[in-house]
Amino acid sequence: MKVRMKSFAILRQFLPRETEVEIGDGSTVRDLLELLVKQAPPLAGELFNEKRELKDFVNILRNGRNIHFISGLDTPLSEGDLVALFPPAGGG
Amino acid sequence: MLSLVERERYLRQISLLGETGQERLRDAAVLIAGAGGLGSVCAQMCACAGFGKIRIVDKDVVERHNLNRQVLYAARDHGLFKVDVAARRLRENNPLISVEPVRKTITRESIGGLVKGIDVIIDGMDNYDARYLLDDAAFGEDLPFIHGAVNGFYGQVSSIIPGKTPCLHCIVPHPPPSGNVPILGVTVGTIGSIQVAEAIKLVTGLGKTMAGRMLLWDGLMGEAEVLPVARDPSCTRCNGKGVFP
């Protein structure tokens, strides 16, 4: 299946602004991130801690909904889903 | 009614806002929470636009490393309280408005007094602990809260409206690591100006605000994106109050 992915801010150093990703049926957000990291290994340091868990401040939206409020990295993906990755800014 | 002096001063924007819009700005009180990079720009833009009352809160003094981005301060202000310098500059800029400097830290104890009599809260903070306190106060007092944050060339803006939009806890459930981040004057200039544009629209009723949406600005790549923001279904702060999904 195909899902669309958008990335912002620091993640733009490793990922295009918007791209279509071919991924196996039944994949989760974790599978998508692993695929992206395989293509751009330095991305891992921006997304994951040393236990390979998602850094909790990285916001990932599936069709506008934060995966923190769905099933985290186990959030399932479907054909045509839009996944947006952005680490929020904190300074003022 | 606007005075002759007000009509002259705001001539080039009354054609946009109307006399009623300008009167609404004059009758509005805005809290600028923080007098750093974003706060400097927001306060300056609010003063120029003619918000009738500006309360600006910060506990810090001006340091040399502030001067790359905190446009209210000059080299001679080193060591002075930011809010005192800010008040002087804003009054010089626009003597028609009232400016109230408050030398305080935003805490659970101080926040109630800081939002008293205020119509709009503008986020000029550099940490999420204080931002979440402002968000709580906004929902407690039913006040719009215009969130802004920056990091390097990047920035974000969202207008948080109790009863209509998700709260900040839903939009940013886990804050980024605290600490000093790199910041450019041009980034706070961009993001702070957009925050005040939001305040002007909220007060005058013009246009469409960033309610329920977040603007992400990437000055490095010259790109902007607007994302919808959604509530945490289990949020105890805004649950049941939001009309957005």
Mean model confidence pLDDT for chain B: 95
Q: Which residues of B125-148 are buried (b: 16+ CB within 10 A; e: fewer)?
A: bbbbebbbbbbbbbbeeebbbbbb
Q: Which residue of B has its CA nearest to A83?
A: B227
Distance of residue B203 Cα from the nearest chain A Cα, in angstroms: 23
pTM of the predicted model over 0.90: yes
Q: What is the mean pLDDT of residues B47-65?
A: 98
Query: What's the mean pLDDT in B13-27?
Result: 98
pLDDT bin (cut points 50, 70, 90) of residue B237 is confident
The pLDDT tens digits of the residues spanning A59-68 come to 999 998 899 9
User: In the A/B pair of chains, how many CB contacts fall below 8 A?
Assistant: 98
Residue B192 has pLDDT above 60, yes or no: yes
Rounded alpha-carbon distances, angstroms, from residue B91 to B43, B55, B84, B132, B145: 11, 12, 11, 30, 24
User: According to the model, what pLDDT value does residue B73 have?
Assistant: 98
DSSP code, position A33: H
How high is the pLDDT of residue B232? Answer: 87
The whole-number pLDDT of residue B245 equals 42
Backbone angles phi, psi at B43, to 5 degrees: -65, -45
List of chain B residues whose C-beta atoms are within 8 Å of the C-beta of residue A53 = none
ipTM for the assembly: 0.90
Question: By percentage, how much of chain B surpasses pLDDT 70?
Answer: 97
Average pLDDT over residues B36-63: 98
Mutate which of A69, A70, A75, A82 to disrupt the B interface (most B C-beta within 10 Å)?
Answer: A69
- Which domains does chain A carry? 2-86 (3.10.20.30)
Confidence of residue A92 (pLDDT cuts 50, 70, 90): very high
pLDDT digit string, tens, across residues B66-117: 999 999 999 999 999 999 999 999 999 999 999 999 999 999 999 999 999 9
* Region of poorest pLDDT, from A51-55, B17-21, B134-138: A51-55
- A68·B173 Cβ contact <8 A: yes
pLDDT higher than threshold 70 for residue B166: yes
Domains belonging to chain B, first-starting first, are 4-228 (3.40.50.720)
The mean per-residue pLDDT over the stretch B196-223 comes to 97
C-alpha–C-alpha distance, residues A58 and A55, integer Å: 6
Amino acid B242: pLDDT: 46
Q: What is the pLDDT of residues A1-42, one digit of tens each?
A: 999 999 999 899 999 999 999 999 999 999 999 999 999 999
Quick: pLDDT tens for B117-142.
999 999 999 999 999 999 999 999 99
Q: Which residue has the tokens 């709009």?
A: B120
Chain A residues touching B216 at Cβ < 8 A: 8-9, 86
